[in-house]
Amino acid sequence: MLAKVYSAAVYGVDAYEVEIEVNAASGNPVIVVVGLPDAAVKESKDRVTTAVANSGYRWPKGRTTINLAPADVKKEGPSFDLPIALAMIAAAEQITLTDFAQYCFVGELALDGSVRSVNGVLPVALEARRCAKKAIIVPEANAQEAAVVEGITTYGVRNLRQTFEFLRGNDTLQPVVANLRMEELPDYDVDFADVRGQHAAKRAIEVAVAGGHNLLMIGPPGSGKSMLAKRIPTIMPPMSFDEAIDVTKIHSICGFLSEKRSFLTLRPFRSPHHTISDAGLLGGGSNPAPGEVTLAHHGVLFLDELPEFRRSTLEVLRQPLEDSKVTISRASGSLTFPAELVLVAAMNPCPCGFFGDLKRECRCSSVQVQRYRQRISGPLLDRIDIHVEVPAVQFKELTATQPAEPSNAIRERVLAARVIQQQRFESTPKTRCNARMGSKPLKQHCVLDESSLELLRTAMHELNLSARAHDRILKVARTIADLEGAPNIDAAHLSEAIQYRTLDRNLWT
């Protein structure tokens, strides 16, 4: 007797359909798993047979062959337990379930037959819908996650027996309805109003968030760099539904969702420690998992103490910053993860932190200062559009009674600038903000008049800027004009954008 069921497995950020066949034949009692399964899948045969027995069903007594197809793709993890068990019971009990093929199943089994949660249920549900399945049956704990996908029914199950009896028509299950709520204005417990002074840094942050530009803050310890960075989420534009699905998918694969937080509507803000490994930052491992750059997709990656990161780690950041995605190569082929992020980095000007400070003396030798800065390479700096100094706060600013501008007011301006960009890039849905403009739209939307052209030419020459820096200055100038609602880039917009590139030249040469 042959039974066939469907499941899906995650590869990268997407899932692909897997067909599971169980054949119960006569002969010696042996279970063979074929179709390139990994150790976790092979182990599952013990779990599955025990769970089947403890649920009160028979399993095939003779030679049992379990085939996972397509055979050429490696299948990993325990999420096939549930479909394998169902097919085994059907084969052993000689029951033909007419609409077995209409379902997609995932779930790990405990020895007592209960169904445990698995990672990556959202991409699996998306794949099931693509394959025109009628319903997806998932662990109860993952049901909210799967139910996000419209156009396919989701059932959450607690154990194997409940699942099989439902398929047989002896039990009923209620479809799960997703609790989808796109939060318009979430409540943050921090606000830009908390930060005194630092007008230049706040302005730079506003420009960066408005156009999706990368930002580097340089200043002594205690000047408020991380305080500023932590408040960036409070002025970020809301995610679209599709962006929220992208972000939720990534967190689903990593197993970071919970029943209460099954749909992510806030842009991610990731701040990995400087001891992070290359694989932790970029993604990797034998079964490549997304790294911090992918977890920051559609959001912010904050790297505090930038020079403390290993130089090799910083170098590998260049590719995602350039391409908005990260490619991981391994023996069986390469894998691509999305990484469309805004990089926000912070650093001290020198090892002691007080280089250039008017009040405190820097005790570092010029060689030490140089070595410290050289940990950040020119090509990486080139990819950071905005460099801004965050000096120590003046006493009179700390004690000022006038409150600083609240996040809401800044956010309004950011949103207005984003609306202009949405209209600008309406015909190119992959470009969401000025920072992601390709070279053709750049020529179209960043036209300079004669005097601005001259200004840019001089700056390029005097600051010895690269062609990449040239394009990035234009994009930042476009954002500055958008913040003002100006249709054309004028000399003032351009000067501000150029000024954001001067700091590195002063510090790095």
Instruction: Tell the smallest beta-carbon distance from residue 362 to Zn ion (Å).
Output: 3
Coil, helix or strand at residue 217: strand
Q: Is 342 or 350 the residue whose CB approaches Zn ion more closely?
A: 350
CB contact at 8 A, 307 and 380 = no
Helix (H) / strand (E) element for 330: namely strand 325-330
Candidates 98-106, 209-217, 284-292, 361-369 — which segment interacts with Zn ion by CB under 5 A? 361-369
Instruction: Tell the smallest beta-carbon distance from residue 219 to Zn ion (Å).
Output: 12
Q: How far apart are CA 413 and CA 207, in angstroms?
A: 10
Instruction: Tell the smallest beta-carbon distance from residue 353 to Zn ion (Å).
Output: 6
CB contact at 8 A, 456 and 470 = yes
Q: How far apart are CA 374 and CA 67, in angstroms?
A: 55
Instruction: Tell the smallest beta-carbon distance from residue 220 to Zn ion (Å).
Output: 9
Q: How far apart are CA 67 and CA 444, in angstroms?
A: 55
Q: Is 24 or 392 the residue whose CB approaches Zn ion more closely?
A: 392
Instruction: Tell the smallest beta-carbon distance from residue 376 to Zn ion (Å).
Output: 16
Q: Is 200 or 362 the residue whose CB approaches Zn ion more closely?
A: 362
123: Cα separation from own chain's centroid: 14
Strand order in the sheet with 63-69: 2-11, 14-24, 63-69, 30-34
309 phi, psi to nearest 5 deg: -70, 150
Candidates 167-175, 198-206, 359-367, 385-393 — which segment interacts with Zn ion by CB under 5 A? 359-367
Coil, helix or strand at residue 456: helix
Q: Within 104-163, which residues bind Zn ion (CB under 5 A)?
A: none
Instruction: Tell the smallest beta-carbon distance from residue 369 to Zn ion (Å).
Output: 6
Contact pattern for Zn ion over residues 326 through 355, marking x by CB under 5 A: ------------------------x-x--x
Q: Is 210 or 390 the residue whose CB approaches Zn ion more closely?
A: 390
Quick one: which of 149, 217, 296, 364 contacts Zn ion (CB under 5 A)?
A: 364
Q: How far apart are CA 412 and CA 234, in angstroms?
A: 11
Q: Is 80 or 355 the residue whose CB approaches Zn ion more closely?
A: 355
Strand partners, 16: 9
Instruction: Tell the smallest beta-carbon distance from residue 387 to Zn ion (Å).
Output: 18
Per CB under 5 A, 362 contacts Zn ion: yes
Instruction: Tell the smallest beta-carbon distance from residue 355 to Zn ion (Å).
Output: 5
Q: Is 115 or 352 the residue whose CB approaches Zn ion more closely?
A: 352
Q: How many residues lie near Zn ion (CB under 5 A)?
A: 5
Instruction: Tell the smallest beta-carbon distance from residue 310 to Zn ion (Å).
Output: 22
Per CB under 5 A, 264 contacts Zn ion: no
Candidates 129-137, 230-238, 264-272, 356-364 — which segment interacts with Zn ion by CB under 5 A? 356-364
From residue 386, give the alpha-carbon distance in Å to each of 312, 363, 377, 458.
Answer: 22, 28, 16, 19
Per CB under 5 A, 372 contacts Zn ion: no
For the chain, the straight-line distance linking the first and the last C-alpha, in angstroms and rounded, comes to 76
Contact pattern for Zn ion over residues 460 through 489, marking x by CB under 5 A: ------------------------------
Instruction: Tell the smallest beta-carbon distance from residue 343 to Zn ion (Å).
Output: 25
Candidates 153-161, 205-213, 357-365, 427-435 — which segment interacts with Zn ion by CB under 5 A? 357-365
CB contact at 8 A, 22 and 110 = no
36-42: long-range pairs with CB below 8 Å, 24+? 36/68, 36/71, 36/72, 36/73, 36/74, 36/75, 37/68, 37/74, 37/75, 38/74, 38/75, 38/76, 38/77, 38/287, 40/76, 40/77, 40/78, 41/68, 41/75, 41/76, 41/77, 41/78, 41/80
Task: Summarize as ranges the residues that interact with Zn ion (CB under 5 A).
Answer: 350, 352, 355, 362, 364
